[in-house]
Structures are given as structure tokens and as C-alpha cells.
Amino acid sequence: MEIIQAKTTPTTQQHQNNHQNPLPQDDDQILPITNNKIKPSNPNKLTLLPLIFLIYFEVAGGPYGEEPAVQAAGPLFALLGFLVFPFIWSIPEALVTAELSTAFPGNGGFVIWADRAFGPFWGSLMGTWKFLSIVINIAAFPILCVDYVEKIFPVLESGWPRYVAIFAMILILAFLNYTGLAIVGYVAVVLAIISLSPFILMTLISIPKIRPRRWISLGQKGVKKDWNLYFNTLFWNLNFWDNVSTLAGEVDKPHKTFPLALLVAVIFTCLSYLFPLFAVIGSVTVDQSRWETGFHAEAAQIIAGNWLKVWLEIGAVLSAIGLFEAQLSSTTYQILGMADLGFLPKIFALRSKKFNTPLTGILVSTGIILAVSYLDFTVIISAANFLYSLGMLLEFASFIWLRRKNPGLKRPYKVPMGTAGIVIMCLIPSGFLIFVMAIATKIVFLVSGIMTAAGIGWYFFIKFCKSRNWFAFSTKEFELDS
């Protein structure tokens, strides 16, 4: 199955080889990438600084949510986790994203990669897995905002005022997304500065109180390790690096910008987790069970007073807003990219005439978020993580197979490893993904199976629609220069 291509001017035969796995506009029509690039229509390009902070909010949004690692396994394992896990998971995922986003710099990201590696069925299924996992995850952020605001306005704790607040929050944030990706990117910069500033202050104020011996504590005696919670906390806080790939068509000079933005974002994100964790563990002694999500606010009060606690809680709201905006951008441009590639009808590629943003993608994603936000979706969130894991396994497989299938493909950034090296690099996080999936509950397996079956059914439904010409689909040609 291996195809060896010389790095020369494409001939007719090479052109045919490059079309062995066509994208599904029709049975024999594919979308163009000229000189390895999909030419975006958006004149407002996303530059380095906002891209860095969009990636940051795709993944983290701050140290909010890292606390359960201490509750689950004790201080030492929590610190080791956030020190070591980026090398096991974050860096491999970021490297894969950097190479493939620069090789295929078009909206659609991981959908393009799976399609080019294994064909349209797998590209479509990748789109389903990733879209569902991200859009369900987004629904948690408006709820988190309201959970913090209700501490100031108790009327929002339950009933119709809470429902109205969540509804209004989603619509307001969706409208911000509608105003343009560049605007969202610079808003992300401001939100990051404000939401991280209380952690910087807390870290500095805590320095005289730090006792390094607390860092090596294995936890309280008699407290059983909860490895399921521990690994899920690490996974939750350090994944989604590839989400930004769906925005590749909107990035200025993606060949240069993407690798640098990912490098800076990985370093910035890891440090934003580690410094507050070292500071709080070293300066605060409390019962291990109190290390629940949100404990950093309590620690801020212990270290500096109520004023810092309030500031940190405000930062949590702003962080949730940033996470919502960044991840909504990913889903909307994924929908647009899939329509450009022919996986969805042409109407899904519709852009706003005023802001040039993906109008249909925003409406579809927002509608699903509104529906999911009113459900008790603990199980659904777990299922979404399961689907995300399936998507990542397919992504790693696509990365390795594209190296073998198209060795002559122009890769402006290339992970500096041979085939054996990238296989080992991908096997380690893949082993972790399989472990996380294996410990899932039966209901998660059931819900994930239903969602996957729906994705498979959707692929064949779209194929049937094309055969009957029920909808208009993209009919652009695809050309990939080796």
C-alpha cells in the first residue's frame, strides 16, 4: 500500500496517485489545494499573538480545574503529573498539529488529515467525533459562568432566572464570535492577562510562606489514590491542542506562524499550571479532600485575603468566556471547512457578508450548545471525551500513514524524526488514550457507540443526498503538489 513519490514536477501519473483517496464532493471530484495551500477568502488574517492565546484557551484558560489532581493522588504526584504529562501528551499532539496544519493549511484541519490518509469515510467520521466532543464540551462554560455569578446574585441558583441567564450568556458569547476571528483572538489576549494576573500575584505573595518539603508529600495517610480522577484531570487540562487546526485557513503565513504559536502556547500553558500549583502546595496546609475544583480561590483567600479570592473568581468567569470563544471558533470553522471539502452541503460554508465569519456554522453550533446546556450531561461529557479519544487515535494513525503514503509531500514544518521515531512518539499517548477509554463506564460505552453509529449513518445519508442531487455540494477540484 505504500506509495513512493519523487519530489519533482507533478506528472499525470503522480496527479492520479495523489487522488487515490478523493475528498467526497462526488465520487470523482475533490477540493483544490494549490501549492499545498487552501486559499482562504478572509482578508482579516489571524496573526501570531492572538493565535497563541486562542490555542491557550482551546487547551487551558488558566489553572482553573487542576486542583483535583492533588485531591486524587497527593501533592507530589500532582506536581509530577503537570511536569511529565506535557511530554507524554501535549508535545506529541502539538507536534502532529504543527506538521499537518502547515502541510494542509485549510479549514477543516484533522478532517483533511484523516481523509487524505484513509479516505472520505474516515474523514467524515473524524469530523463527527471531534465536532460532538468539542460542542458538548463548550456547553459547560456558560454554566460555569452562571455558577460563579450566582454567588453575587443568588436568584440565579435555580428556576427560570437561571435558565434565562444561561440562554442570554450563550447568545451574547455567540454574537461576539460572529464579529470576527481576529476580534476573538485579541479578546483572548485581554482575557488571558486579566484571568492570570491574580495567579501571578498569589504566587509572588506566597513565596515567603513556601515550605519545599510539602512538595514531596505523597498525600495524607489513609487517603486512597483515585487514579481515574487523577488521569482524567490531567487529560482534561492538557488536551485539545489540535482544535486550532480547523482555523488554519484563516491564519496569516501559517507555514511560519503555526509552529511558533504552538511552541509558545505549550510553554506558556504548562508554566501557567505549574507556578500556582507549586505556590499553593508549598504555602497552604489543608485537608487533602478540600482540593476540589475552585480550591485556588480558597487558597487565594488564605494567602492574601478576600480581595484576591474575589479577583480570582472574576478571572474564572473570564477564563470560561475565553474557552467558549476559542472552542466555538474551532467548531464553526470545522463546519465551514467540511462544507468546502464536500462533507456537508454548500449552505454550511455560508459566511457573514459583514464579518466574513462562518454564519451557518455559528448558528448550528450555538443551537446544539443551547440544547445541551439544559441537560444533566455528566455522562454525555464523559462520552464526548471518549469520542475525542477515538478521534485522536485516528489522528495519530493519519499522521504516521501520511508520512509513509506521501513522503514527498511538502511539509513546511516537519517533526524531526523518522518513521520509527514518530511511531514511538504516537504510541505513548495512544496507550494513555486506550487506558482512559478502557476505564470508562458501560453507559459511556453505550452513548459513545450510539453517537458513532449516528456519525456513520450521517456519512451514508450525505452520500445518498449527493446521488439524488438533493443539496448543492462543493464542486471544486483538488490538486496537491508534492
Has residue 432 got a pLDDT over 60?
A: yes
Has residue 480 got a pLDDT over 80?
A: no
Within a 10 A sphere around the Cβ of 102, how many other Cβ atoms? 23
Has residue 29 got a pLDDT over 90?
A: no
Has residue 34 got a pLDDT over 50?
A: no
Residue 358's DSSP bridge partners are 351
143 vs 368: which has the higher pLDDT: 368
Has residue 105 got a pLDDT over 50?
A: yes
The rounded distance, in Å, linking the Cα atoms of 422 and 143 is 39
Determine contact, residues 135/465, Cβ cutoff 8 Å.
no
279 vs 38: which has the higher pLDDT: 279
Comparing CA positions, the residue from 133, 131, 118, 129 lying closest to residue 397 is 118
* pLDDT band for position 436 (cuts 50, 70, 90): confident
- Can you tell me the mean pLDDT for 103-111? 91
Residue 449's DSSP bridge partners are none
Residue 31, pLDDT score: 39
Write out pLDDT tens, residues 362-415: 999 999 999 888 776 566 777 778 899 999 999 999 999 999 999 999 999 999
156 vs 424: which has the higher pLDDT: 424
Residue 44, pLDDT score: 66
Write out pLDDT tens, residues 199-246: 999 999 999 999 999 999 998 888 888 888 898 889 888 988 999 999
Q: What cell numbers appear for 402 in the block?
A: 501520511
Residue 156, pLDDT score: 85
Domain ranges of the chain: 24-109+140-367
Q: Where would I find the H helices in 20-119?
A: 48-59, 68-73, 75-85, 91-103, 110-118
- Can you tell me the mean pLDDT for 115-131? 96
Residue 23, pLDDT score: 41
Determine contact, residues 199/280, Cβ cutoff 8 Å.
no
- Can you tell me the mean pLDDT for 116-123? 96
- Can you tell me the mean pLDDT for 331-339? 95
Residue 375, pLDDT score: 72
Has residue 17 got a pLDDT over 50?
A: no
Residue 462, pLDDT score: 94
Share of the chain above pLDDT 70, in %: 88
Lowest average pLDDT, out of 26-30, 76-80, 290-294, goes to 26-30
Residue 159, pLDDT score: 86
Has residue 479 got a pLDDT over 50?
A: no
- Can you tell me the mean pLDDT for 442-462? 93
* pLDDT band for position 92 (cuts 50, 70, 90): very high
* 119 phi, psi to nearest 5 deg: 110, 170
- Class of the CATH-defined domain 24-109+140-367: mainly alpha
State pTM to two decimals.
0.84
Those residues whose C-beta lies under 8 Å from the C-beta of residue 196, and which sit 6 or more positions away, are 62, 272, 315
- Can you tell me the mean pLDDT for 142-162? 82
Within a 10 A sphere around the Cβ of 223, how many other Cβ atoms? 15
Residue 377, pLDDT score: 56
Terminal-to-terminal C-alpha distance of the chain: 18
